[in-house]
Structure 1
Amino acid sequence: MTVLVAGASGATGSKLVEQLVQKDYRVRVMVRSPEKLPNSWKNNVNIQIISASILELSDEELKNYTQNCDAVVSCLGHNLTWKGVYGQPRKLVTEATQRLCNAIKKNNSKQSVKFILMNTTGNRNRDINEPISFAQKLVIGLLRLILPPHVDNEKAADYLRTQIGQNNKSIEWVAVRPDNLINEDKVSEYEIYPSPIRSAIFNSGQTSRINVGHFMASLVSNDTFWNNWRGQMPVIYNTSSLTK
């Protein structure tokens, strides 16, 4: 099995790559700064390092990189710096999602490709009209005005919901929504829900990045697990955070 990971050098993407390597998958990692990658990746025959910015690749290059992939995962996000939040590209996640999906469709694979998008609990799944409080609606509305990355996350998921949809012959998708991300060294117990069970604004839980990587790797490897969540936006919490 071959998996392409965009944003592989990020804090969460790197955890996903480690999980995939443990399963002996062939992994294509797309990064802008390969010199920062661990030597263990550079010396692993199952890891192909692609030094590129996804938005700068030609359509043909992107088509070639996604060719023969069983799954494509986007762990892209905005750096939490002034330039990362307010600089260009403001629609990094959305545009990357669109370009990757277009590339997948152009390959005309005989089997549908799994597409996994890392998203956020701050974004609602409008397919099932998730209820939120009036106060949270106000805060989310403010975030749309002052934080371009929030809008980017919303638009990326909306593209999968409305443009790829539930019956696309080339692509099946899942948008994974972690809550407040934290760092942990080992996979711990976690729980998956169709919708948030806590307020992402006023009562957030916690999700370790390594658990997100483990969950996404499980979606790639386990078809039964995948079929339970395809076309949905599951929320992942560390079990320990739900008792607080």
Structure 2
Amino acid sequence: MTVLVVGASGSTGSKLVEQLLAEKHKVKVIVRSPEKLPESWTINDDLQIISASLLELSDTEISTIVSDCNAVASCLGHNMSWKGIYGKPRRLVTDATRRLCNAVTSNNLQSPTKFVLMNTTGNRNRDLNEPISFAQKCVIGLLRLLLPPHVDNEKAADYLRTQIGQNNNPIEWVAVRPDGLINEEEVTDYEIHSSPIRSAIFNAGKVSRINVGHFMASLITDDTLWEKWKGQMPVIYSTSH
């Protein structure tokens, strides 16, 4: 299996890449600063490193990159700096999702390509009746006004829900919603729910980045798990937190 991972140099994306390489899959990554990658990646024959900014690539270049990929995974996010939050590109995750999906569609492949998006539990799945409190609605409203990355995450998931939808022949998708992200060295037990079981704002749970990477890799490689969650926005929590 060949998988393209964007956002591979990030804290969660790197965990996903490591999971896929450990299972001996072929992995492509698009990174702006390849010199920051682990040395073990640069000498791994199963890893192809493409040095570029995704949004600066042409449509033809992206189509060529994804043409032999069975799956595409996006772990893109905004840097938690003033420039990262309020600078351009404001729609990094959404624009990347749209362009990658367009590239997959343009190749007219025989079987569907899996698309896995790392999202956030602060974003509701509007295909479901996910109730949230009035107080949380107020906070989310403020986040939309004050934090462009939150809107970007919402719009990226909405693109998959409304533009790709549930019956798109070229693309099947899952948007993974982690709760509060933490760092741990090893994969631990975790649980998956179709909707949040606690408030993302007032009673957030925890999940390790390596567990998120493990779940995303499992979705990509385990067809039974994929059939269970495709077209949905599962929420992941570490059970020890």
- Which TM-score bucket, shorter chain as reference? over 0.9
For the pair 1:222 / 2:215, whether they are aligned, the reply is no
1:214: Cα distance to partner? 0.2
Residue identity opposite 2:210 in structure 1? I
TM-score normalised per structure 2: 1.00
Note if 1:46 corresponds to 2:46: yes
Name the counterpart of 2:70: 70
Shift of 1:68: 1.1
1:101-126: CA deviation from partner (whole Å, max 9, x where unpaired): 00000011100000000000000000
Residue 178 of structure 1 corresponds to which residue in structure 2? Answer: 178
> 1:100 aligns to what?
100
Counterparts of 1:68 and 1:224 in 2: how far apart (Å)?
A: 22
Q: Return the alpha-carbon distance in structure 2 between the equivalents of residues 30 and 210 of structure 1.
A: 20
In 1: Cα distance, 2:107 partner to 2:44 partner: 27
Q: Which one-letter code corresponds to 1:19 in the other structure? A: Q
Partner of 2:121: 121
Structure 1 stretches of at least 4 aligned residues deviating more than 6 Å after TM superposition: none
Matched residue type, 1:164? I
Q: What root-mean-square deviation, in Å, do the aligned CA atoms of Structure 1 and Structure 2 show?
A: 0.4
Instruction: Give structure 1 stretches of 5+ with no counterpart.
Output: none
**CA displacement at 1:27 relative to structure 2:** 0.1
Map 1:100-179 onto structure 2 (within 5 A).
100-179=100-179
Shift of 1:240: 1.0
Between the two proteins, the alignment pairs up a number of residues equal to 241
Match of 2:14 in 1: 14
In the TM superposition, residue 185 of structure 1 has moved relative to its aligned partner by 0.2
Structure 1 residues 164-243: aligned runs within 5 Å: 164-241=164-241
Q: What CA distance in whole angstroms lies between the structure 1 residues aligned with 2:39 and 2:67?
A: 26
Q: Normalization by structure 1: what TM-score?
A: 0.98
How much does 1:129 deviate? 2.1
